[in-house]
Amino acid sequence: MNIVGIAACTSGIAHTYIAKEKLLKAGKELNHTIHIETQGTIGTEDELSAKDIAEADIVIIAADIKVGGRERFQGKRIVEISTHIAIKSPKALLNKIQAELKG
Amino acid sequence: MDLLTVIDESRIDLELDVVDKAEAINALADMLVKSGVLSSKEGFIQDVYLREAEGQTGIGGGIAIPHGKSKSVLKTSLAIGRTKRPIFWESLDGKPVQCIILFAVREVDSTTVHIKLLGEFAGKLADEQVVEKLFTSTQTNEIIDIFS
């Protein structure tokens, strides 16, 4: 799958970045193409490119707060979860999404 | 960027002798006080608990990352403690923790460099090998090596 996503937690200091790395690692291990933008206390990093978004099969929003720039995903399938899910079981999450996209 | 600007051997204790979360946070805050990072230990601890009230900071795998963004923090820093015995902590996997990384974040950080470092540091905790070393290292300098 081509995946884009956003990670953002309440204080924007720690969970955001753990969630991002967990999703990236799981994505690579399962042979997906994955880009994750972080919206933390220091602002947006690794901002998603228009091309990555256009090519994405799915958008994963792993956030505990309202994220910015949702309008970029108009017409896309979006999965919304907490950062906890991304940290705790990233592979299971991606496998579930893939199964649902196929089904 | 240099991780040594937020982490220091004087703020790592691999044999933390504590029985619960309150004692652990207190012991880690003591290390922060000793290295001149906090203006008020009580004020800082209060802000740590404010964050705790917002949701679990146990990230699973025996690790907790409590953090306080606080006026009482003079310099954004980390303290790391490994407890002699597992202690109860609100965790994503419902299990106790034995490694606690306390993030002390300045309320107004003129440069975002330090907060960025903390984010990078947190991201490394997604790596299973890093986590394993956190639990098996016997020297404080080995802990620093993991992250640098």
Contacts of A13 (CB under 8 A, 6+ apart): A40, A41, B67, B69, B103, B105, B115, B118, B119, B122
Q: Decide if pLDDT at B3 tops 80.
A: no
Residue-wise pLDDT for B53-77, tens only, equals 988 999 999 999 999 889 999 999 9
B contact set with A (CB within 8 A): 51, 54-57, 59-60, 65, 67, 69, 92-93, 103, 105, 112, 115-116, 118-120, 122-127
What's the CATH code of the domain at B139?
3.40.930.10
pLDDT digits (tens, 9 = 90+) for A39-93: 998 899 999 999 999 999 999 999 999 999 999 999 999 999 999 999 999 999 9
Q: What is the CATH number of the domain that holds A89?
A: 3.40.50.2300
Q: Residue B41: how many CB atoms within 10 A of its CB?
A: 14
Range of the domain at A10: 2-102
**What is the predicted pLDDT for the residue at B111?**
62
Burial class (CB in 10 A: 0-12, 13-18, 19+), B17: exposed
Look at chain A and report how many structural domains it folds into: 1
Query: Which is the catalytic residue, given A9, A34, A59, A87?
Result: A9
Range of the domain at B22: 3-147
For A57, residues 6+ apart whose C-beta sits below 8 A from its C-beta are: A1, A2, A3, A77, A101
- Taking all residues of chain B, what is their mean pLDDT, rounded to a whole number? 92
Q: What is the pLDDT of residues A38-51, one digit of tens each?
A: 999 889 999 999 99
pLDDT reported for residue B132: 94
Number of domains comprising chain B = 1
Q: Are B69 and B47 in contact (CB under 8 A)?
A: yes
A–B interface: beta-carbon pairs under 8 A: 69
Confidence of residue A28 (pLDDT cuts 50, 70, 90): very high
Token pair 């992250």 is found at: B147
d(CA B121, CA B54): 21
Does ipTM top 0.90? no
Residue range B96-106, pLDDT digits in tens:
999 999 999 99
Quote the pTM value.
0.90
Q: What percent of chain A has pLDDT over 70?
A: 100
Q: Which two tokens stand for residue B131?
A: 């986590």
pLDDT at B110: 53
